[in-house]
Structure 1
């Protein structure tokens, strides 16, 4: 399905998946720690049996008599679990590009070893999913009780095949989203005291402190969150997304667009792209949307102050919520703010 056709969907869910601004904002029920509340599992992949339980962000407690081994997850969530040493059997969501290379959301996973249940929004092969004999499905949640990238038309059939866990990718900030996924990974057997994980968390905390210091030292630098399609340029509202909400809490100043009825972003025609001027522009890096090189020939884009100054950086719009993947995101933004010239 093309980006354009997905964008025309009337639902908020379709718009979010298409690549405008993705929303995130308030509190989670029970932030995971070393172990998720109610978990009784042993180490993943050791052959030890359960019982296993985990309470997700819908408030639903999933309990299984034996340890879940055949796990299927949304690609980005699977990539986060991979960073903690938890492997899945299958994935759904952006996984493989047209060139066969891993999508940015696949992280460090070896996609050749994964069963891809669906690669684009609206695609989920229920038959292929059933053949995996799934014991657990894990995905994100951008709207309450709606599972990310699980098609509504087949949601009941999919739910009948295995227990499901959903974690907020909205209604939270990056720090809390990280804690919840770490908690889930721990419940599935990950060792959060492993040196790799401890070092990654320390790097994240150091990066957070660096970004806070950069924002404090450069209070006049304004950042715009952008995403591009052939017809429109989207300017996102920072507080509606877990990553940018967290950056805002650390002191980063963002352009505040007049959002549409969905509350996430303002769509501008290319003729009106100059409505907002920023010193730094963060551009959506997902494969479904246009990248800066694709819009370089648009005169209104080229005339933006940040573009002329070369102060455009990628935005990881759907972060892989592991400390290892989020630390560099903060470091890159801190560096951009530290080096930015006041141009707007």
Structure 2
């Protein structure tokens, strides 16, 4: 699970959106119980006929037609959009308010989604508005999976009710290297009618592959540069274990020298450090969680121990896209940014 999300899920029970709302039971019945039958309409691409997809849990969803009423985790929806598939609704970090102006803008995980044209049924951890979900007449729910059979951002307290409305598809976002995860998202998009062999997507994939090779060369040229994957909260600094998230696993495969924490928490995802001992690991470069739920460099300036870190003093702190949008179009730039950071990095620790 990415960075501090597991700790969040353990400490925050979340909001029960509309599970007990009047009329929900009748609405669930009207939706056909297990959602195994589609609406009979084809998706926007024009692909028609029966639809079948085996997800990364090994579960196969079968529908009478290719679904067009798709609801997805925000990041997954953004990936599908890049591959050419539109969704009706999203859940997960989608919009944020600018603290200075109060203006609403897309969250970093929304990618190129037009957030004004999708129904947001949940914008924070634990929020899933079942009544709004029902109104969309969903045919399939799609989300990430960081741990086996755990549907990302689907509240456990509401899971049984949610899965009675429509079948679910879960794709790994951990434990597999980024190219494999990208291919699975392409497979899903293709099944939904997208032309994943279009000139645009071929160009995006070529850019991704070139960026990966650039990272490989930079890592070889800058052997000995230690890179730490971190995420900050007011009380704790999380040092991520690189072997499980799909991005950092790929970075390791490309030769990047990532620091491996030696005292992982019980989940096995990260080591928790107090700010007093945030200098435990000697890092030349820090890749810092870019999600809106994590403290960003401006906010971290107030912490003296952070400001004293060699990587911070050297200006070698760079954003990490902790929950990537799994399309070639979005993953290529993050590899390019990593390559540039390594190419310019100096040994400071």
The TM tier, using the shorter chain, reads 0.7 to 0.9
TM-score normalised by the chain length of structure 2: 0.87
Task: Say whether the 8 Å CA contact 1:43–1:190 is kept in structure 2.
Answer: no
> Is 1:272 the counterpart of 2:277 in the alignment?
yes
Task: Say whether the 8 Å CA contact 1:43–1:189 is kept in structure 2.
Answer: no
Task: Say whether the 8 Å CA contact 1:43–1:188 is kept in structure 2.
Answer: no
Shift of 1:241: 0.9
- 1:148 match: 152
Shift of 1:193: 1.6
Show the 5 A alignment for 1:322-341.
322-341=327-346
SS of the counterpart of 1:226? strand
Cα offsets for 1:64-102 (capped at 9, x unmatched): 011201000000000000001100000000000023100
CA distance in 1, matches of 2:245, 2:5: 24
Q: Kindly tell me: are residues 331 and 129 of structure 1, through their superposed partners in 2, closer, same or farther at Cα, counting changes over 3 Å?
A: same
Task: Give structure 2 stretches of 5+ with no counterpart.
Answer: 14-40, 99-103
- 2:190 match: 186
- 2:316 match: 311
SS of the counterpart of 2:113? coil
Task: Say whether the 8 Å CA contact 2:47–2:192 is kept in structure 1.
Answer: no
- 2:94 match: 95
Shift of 1:163: 1.3
CA distance in 2, matches of 1:276, 1:145: 33
Q: Kindly tell me: are residues 276 and 46 of structure 1, through their superposed partners in 2, closer, same or farther at Cα, counting changes over 3 Å?
A: closer
Q: Which moved more, 1:188-197 or 1:313-322?
A: 188-197
CA distance in 2, matches of 1:237, 1:293: 25
Aligned counterpart in structure 2 of residue 321 of structure 1, from 322, 326, 334: 326
> Is 1:257 the counterpart of 2:256 in the alignment?
no
CA distance in 2, matches of 1:193, 1:6: 36
**Bigger Rg over Cα:** 2
- 1:77 match: 76
> Is 1:60 the counterpart of 2:65 in the alignment?
no
SS of the counterpart of 2:169? strand
Shift of 1:46: 4.2
SS of the counterpart of 2:106? coil
Aligned counterpart in structure 2 of residue 163 of structure 1, from 145, 163, 167: 167
Shift of 1:49: 2.8
Shift of 1:277: 1.6
Aligned counterpart in structure 2 of residue 200 of structure 1, from 204, 207, 213: 204
CA distance in 1, matches of 2:133, 2:334: 33
- 2:181 match: 177
- 2:294 match: 289
Show the 5 A alignment for 1:222-233.
222-233=226-237
Shift of 1:326: 0.2
Q: Kindly tell me: are residues 8 and 113 of structure 1, through their superposed partners in 2, closer, same or farther at Cα, counting changes over 3 Å?
A: closer
> Is 1:51 the counterpart of 2:55 in the alignment?
no
Task: Say whether the 8 Å CA contact 1:92–1:119 is kept in structure 2.
Answer: yes
SS of the counterpart of 2:238? strand
SS of the counterpart of 1:266? strand
Q: Which moved more, 1:132-141 or 1:187-196?
A: 187-196
Shift of 1:260: 1.4
Shift of 1:299: 0.9
CA distance in 2, matches of 1:240, 1:296: 29
SS of the counterpart of 1:178? helix
